[in-house]
Amino acid sequence: MSFLPCLSDDLSDESKTKIESLLTNIKTNFSDALKKHRDVHASISKFKKSVDKTFVDDTSNVASYFTTDTNNVPSHNATFDPPPNSPLYKTADSMTEDELFSAVIIEELIRNGHGSVATKLAKEVGFSEEDIGLKQFREVGAMVVALKNGDLNPAKNWLAASAETLGPKAKQLEYVLAKLEFLMEVQKHANDPAGVIACLHKIVPYAPDFPADFEHVMGSLVFLGQSLENTPYSDLSLKSPTKGTDASASTGCAWDHFGSAGGVSLPLLPLVSLCDTEEDATAAAGAEGDMCPMEGEASPNAFVRAAHLFGTVACAQLSLSSIDPLRTAFASGLRVLPKLHKLQRAFAWLTNYAPGNSDGTHTLPISIDLDTLAHRHNIFHCPVIKEVSTMSNPPVRLNCGHAISRDAFNSLATSERRKIKCPYCPKDTNRDQVMTLYF
């Protein structure tokens, strides 16, 4: 193709040659750009299709994965012992999904000091104060708030009433209170060595049982009359930290958040275990997964640490976690949903080749690696009816040692059959030989 006819006759031959060369380069570059554009356009078109296939707007199928079909639940065998009732809540199996969700929200409100709001919501849902354990929360919350503010009497009263059920922990908690009393008294005798020695009678009896921590407390006397902040003994300080409040709030370590108008609030602290030394406590906290970064922040004082410790033990006495279930469920859900989404895509492929359950759905157990903090209790997944055991459908142990769920046993042990054959092995089991297993 020649461009010369398009050029003016007034141009010199040299100018025409340069223009022709320039136009040729433009044509070549334009062709290359078109080719590259076609390659990019194809990739962009495929990317849109991949996005549509990978991300779905409707997540109802993911939520329905948790829905249990209760229409065909076998009747319970009256010969079994009834499942134990919770000392704090209604049995979760007797709640609807809406009631269970409301119970979690109510507990979240109570734990964060909004007792009045929680009570109002409970009344709207139809729960009584006994159903949500408000009395127990108030008792624990009042003790925790008082201890945080330096009042040891509620903690002493609670410890005296719970000493038998606490077992060996009771003496450890007694030592914590004795240590606080010593630290409070010794501050009054900063310039009186005789007074300091007189205060030792509160803590010396515990020295043989807690030698490392006793040495730690004695070492803090070097700074007697001075602030323990920014020292190796900052955990023994009785003063509120003067820095790090904003930082702790931004990192989620709201260890200075206590009771409000509701009168109930459990602190969220880095977990403080019953250890002899501060290093052991820190290591245990990190192992539990409840450790917030505290670099550059002020350490909680001794009252706050003791308050969290007593709150944690009191929660354990009520079969509660020291961390609220709503936060745990949210953090765990962030890990569960991606795997459930992959499972949903697998089910969409399986429907073309394999039939689903009687209701047309597919279910498969999947393994999710959660933090230690999110672990609550073991569960049993029955291999016969492919369901997770509940309080109303607990696992039962057969004569051979294998276990199935109660409903599975009921479906196998009909009135005409006095014995059933174990699904795992050929051994038979009579009705009166099964035992309910409690996790």
The answer as to whether 371 is a domain residue is no
Angstrom distance (rounded) from CA 66 to CA 335: 15
| 258 and 239 Cβ atoms separated by less than 8 Å | no
Q: Report yes or no on 93 lying in a domain.
A: no
For the chain, the domain total comes to 3
Same domain, 32 and 71: no
Does residue 139 sit in the same domain as residue 186?
A: yes
| Per-residue pLDDT at 356 exceeds 80 | no
- For residue 117, tell me if it sits in a domain: no
DSSP states along 31-47: HHHHHHHHHHHHHHHHH
Residues 169, 236 share a domain: yes
Same structural domain for residues 314 and 416?
Answer: no
263: left (phi over 0), alpha (psi -120 to 50) or beta: left
**SS3 for 374?**
helix
Are the beta carbons of 147 and 202 closer than 8 angstroms? no
**Domain endpoint, select from 306, 323, 340:** 323
pLDDT, one tens digit per residue, over 405-418 is 888 888 777 656 67
73 & 159 share domain: no
pLDDT in tens, 21-38: 888 989 988 888 888 888
318 and 190 co-located in one domain: yes
- Residue 252 and residue 386 in one domain: no
CA 340 to chain centre: 19
> Is the pLDDT score of 84 beyond 70?
no
Amino acid symbol at 32: D
Structural domain for 40, as ranges: 4-47
Domain shared by 30 and 68, yes or no: no
Q: Final residue of a domain: which of 323, 346, 366? A: 323
Task: Count CB atoms within 10 A of the CB of residue 147.
Answer: 29
Closest by Cα among 376, 385, 326 to 70: 385
> Does 385 share its domain with 237?
no
Same domain, 166 and 301: yes
User: What number of other Cβ atoms are within 10 A of residue 293's Cβ?
Assistant: 12
Which stretch of 14-18, 82-86, 150-154 has the lowest confidence by average pLDDT? 82-86
Do 186 and 244 reside in the same domain of the chain?
yes
> DSSP secondary-structure letter at 381?
B
In this prediction the pTM is 0.51
Read off the pLDDT band of 93 (50, 70, 90).
low
Rg (CA), the chain: 34
Rounded CA gap, 72 and 379, in Å? 22
Q: How do residues 231-275 score in pLDDT, each as one tens digit?
A: 888 888 887 655 443 333 333 333 333 333 333 333 333 333 223
Residue 277 lies in a domain: yes
210 domain-assigned: yes
Asked, for residue 18, whether it belongs to a domain, the answer is yes
Question: 142 and 194: one domain?
Answer: yes
% the chain with pLDDT above 70: 65
Which DSSP category does 418 fall into? Answer: S
**Does residue 341 sit within a domain?**
no
Q: Is residue 349 part of a domain?
A: no
